[in-house]
Structure formats: C-alpha cells, structure tokens
Amino acid sequence: MEVSRLEFLKQIAHALAVQFGDNCEVLVHDLARNSVENSIVYIENGHVTGRALGGSPSRAVLDVIRHPDGAFEDQLSYLTKTENGRILKSSTIYIKDEHGKPRYILSINFDITNLIALESSLHSLTAVPEPSVATPQEAPKVIPHDVNELLDELIQQSVALVGVPVALMTKDDKIKAIKFLNETGAFLITRSGDKVAKYFEISKYTLYSYINMNKES
C-alpha cells in the first residue's frame, strides 16, 4: 500500500516538473525514514535549491516529526527564497495515511526570480502614480540547503523570539530560546545539542536541564 502511494507521488512529481520546466523543483519527503537527515526520497530539478536525493529535511518535516498528532493543513502558494537570494513560489502538501496522519510531504518550489524582474520592467512602463501606500509583506522564508543551515536558521529564530543578543541573555531568556528549539524539532538533528550549547554558552548538562524544565512546565 505504502509503496504504491509513494510510486504515485513520484509519478505526480515527475509530471509537474515536466509541465513547468527546469525552474520547478518537486520533491517528496518520507516522514517514516529512520533518519530525519535524509528524508528526501524523490526530487526533480534539485538545482533550484541545491538539494539532492537523500538530502536533509525542511522545517515542515521537523514539524510533523515533532508533533505527530498535530493537525496539519496544506500550505499553498507562499513565497520562500534560496540561500543565494532567488525567490520561489512554494507549496507544501501533506499526504496522509489511512489513520489521517501525515506520511509523505510533496513540495513544489518554482523559481519566479526572472518573472519578478520581467514584471518589474513591465510595471515601470505601464505604472502611474498612486496615492495609496502599499502594505508591507512578510519576508520570504529561506529554504535551507542542508541540516546545518536549517539548525542555524532555527537558532537565529530563537534569538529573534527572545529579542536579546546571547551575550545579554538571562537564564530565563535562554530557557525560552531552548524551548522554541525543542518545540520546532531542532534537537532531532544529529549533534545539534553540541552546537546549541556552544552557541548559548552553556554546558550540555545545563542544556538538557533547560529542555526538561520546558517539558515539566
């Protein structure tokens, strides 16, 4: 049953990649892999984000593994970007098993950088002044190239959440940051504890005690 479902997803991924061309990356994450660090079981046009077969997970994968009983809804047509600044139009589709839990993730990342440049050029020719003020949009999220970049991104998000540089963080600040990292699945990444402990200038013993504090609260 699972094999046929996976083969069907591969067929769909291949069709989408052929339909939309080289700028469209389509990949399948297997959420039941023994290691979260090689969740990609199928990929087309991996050059778009620089990933390959057997590559590392996305934030969406960590979310599902960390919260297996969560209610996950498809995320369609949102903006992301690569580490070198190219803008992607992305969709994340959760493929569920017979129990209603996510089993695979089908991801689509379409590079629209050149289209945006073309749109901007056309707009400069056709636009007229308008008195209204544009509403600022949220910056696209970066798609990490590997697990190290994903961990770095999560660490930076934890610092932004606290709003204080590490050098000025109190014990409570660090506990809050560690709680965020634990809830986002950062510690599912191999040897993440060493890196997080070093970054926050605490021992691994202290790190694990902070994690346990968050579990008890």
DSSP string covering 93-126: EEEE-TTSSEEEEEEEEEE-HHHHHHHHHHHHHH
128: tokens are: 């007229």
Q: Percent of the chain at pLDDT above 70?
A: 89
108: left (phi over 0), alpha (psi -120 to 50) or beta: beta
Residue 187: partners with Cβ closer than 8 Å, 6 or more residues away: 181, 193, 196, 211
Q: Which CATH class is domain 2-115?
A: alpha beta
**Interval 164-196: pLDDT, tens:** 888 888 999 999 999 999 988 888 888 899 999
Tell me the average pLDDT of the chain: 86
pTM attached to this predicted model = 0.70
- Domains of the chain by residue range: 2-115, 146-216
Strand order in the sheet with 75-81: 40-44, 24-30, 102-111, 87-96, 75-81, 141-142
Spatial distance between the Cα atoms of 187 and 217, rounded to a whole number of angstroms? 18
pLDDT score of 104 more than 70: yes
Confidence of residue 138 (pLDDT cuts 50, 70, 90): low
Residue 164: HSE in the Cβ half-sphere, 13 Å Cα cutoff: 14
pLDDT score of 119 more than 90: no
Length of the chain counted residue by residue: 217
What is the reported pLDDT for 11?
Answer: 95
